[in-house]
Amino acid sequence: MRNLETLRQPLEDKVVTISRASGSLTFPANFVAVCAMNPCPCGYYGDERKECTCSPSSVQRYQKRISGPIMDRMAPCAHCMSDIHLQVRRVPYEKPASLDGGESSAVIRGRVETARRIQAARFAGLGKAGMLVNGDMGPAEVQQFCSTDEAGRNLLRAGAYHRVLKPTRTIADLTGEEAIRTEHLAEALQYRPRGGVG
């Protein structure tokens, strides 16, 4: 857990500072944090096939082992800094073993590379160092580049405005769309937290 605490500064400031008696050095540290944890001590809270054996209080204690400041930056909470939160369910062995292909990694990589080029071109004229992708946008850029129609605005009233719009802009970029459509917003809303232990 102590190692996780060291991520607080780089997650918030996008820099790492190393301090020694002789002085300190600061390095750039703009990274994507991909984190995973079990939902409870037994690992089956919310599982569709096996019942969780933990009490509600033990589930809450387990989830609170990560400090509040770290949870604020990464965890499934209503006001978290995470733009995307996914609950990954267990998949039976037979299901992936029977899948017939699907999109290849090369096809997906090509779509991502195209979306990254679109984003780089979008931000090139702003003159803001370090703004390369949609995730780097602040409120002013979200306002400028993430306009929605009336149906989209109705959907947004239920969500964290800027946290929803940045992944929505990326979804539109991945489909090659200049305008954000309601279906892009609906997909991004699916990646929002559903709430914790109740």
CA distance 108 to 114: 10
DSSP letter, residue 90: P
3-state secondary structure of 15: strand
pLDDT (tens place) for every residue of the chain, 198 residues total:
567 777 777 877 788 888 899 999 999 887 777 778 888 999 888 888 889 999 999 988 888 887 766 666 654 433 334 566 677 777 776 666 556 667 888 999 999 999 999 999 999 988 887 788 888 888 889 889 988 888 888 777 755 666 788 889 999 999 999 999 999 988 888 877 654 443
CA–CA distances in Å: residue 88 to residues 45, 81, 97, 176: 12, 19, 18, 27
